[in-house]
Amino acid sequence: MAGTVDVESSGVVAIVRLDDLSRAVPLTEALLRGGVTAVEFTFTNRLAARVIESVRDSMGEATAVGAGTVLDPETARTAILAGAQFVVTPTLNTSVIELCRRYAVPTVIGAFSPTEMLTAWEAGATYVKVFPASVGGPGYLKDVRGPLPQLKLIPTGGVSVDNAGDFIRAGAVAIAVGSNLVDAKSVANEDWSVLEERARALIAAVQSART
């Protein structure tokens, strides 16, 4: 089931961190039209679990729906029961990794130092989320992957269409983008074409860098 989810394929994970998630389904549809097939709803919103369930019911298998800002295994299990197909943490938490492995749900585990990254990987993280990526930039990923080429890194924080390609060329397997892709104003105004175009531009930058 969820264990077969691949957040790498499109190369872009959309991070949806909004106070108002009432338009979650149409915004996910807009992202999908732009080519983004992995969307993460953060648990900074108390309705995140309900929204994950709703989006999964509406989108079927067209989009991988994940849970973000998961701080503990209890939240991870809540998210999985709601249908989350991958779980994302902002920091290193081996208990979350253990819980998700039990249910065969992929994880994107937050880390910054090489020690944290390797610890997450050794504990069974599917991907390591380099956060905040804006601190070291693409050069930092390249440096880390020198001695640790086995790590599957997804930079998050400060990633945009302008530097997406640089992160991919530095060795990232995908990028995760928040407000530079999904912002509150565009969603509130239902400017779905704006989200679709941003998604398309990010996908194009990633594909270009990969080739």
DSSP 7-51: SSSSSEEEEE--S--TTHHHHHHHHHHTT--EEEEETTSTTHHHH
- How far from the centroid of its chain's Cα atoms is residue 185's Cα? 21
Identify whether the C-beta of residue 38 lies closer than 8 Å to the C-beta of residue 66: yes
Cis peptide before 132 (omega within 30 of 0): yes
Determine the Cα–Cα distance for residues 23 and 20; give it in Å rounded to an integer.
8
Q: How far apart are CA 179 and CA 48, in angstroms?
A: 17
Are 184 and 142 spatial neighbours (Cβ–Cβ below 8 Å)? no
- Residues taking part in catalysis: 40, 129
184 touches 23 (CB < 8 A) = no
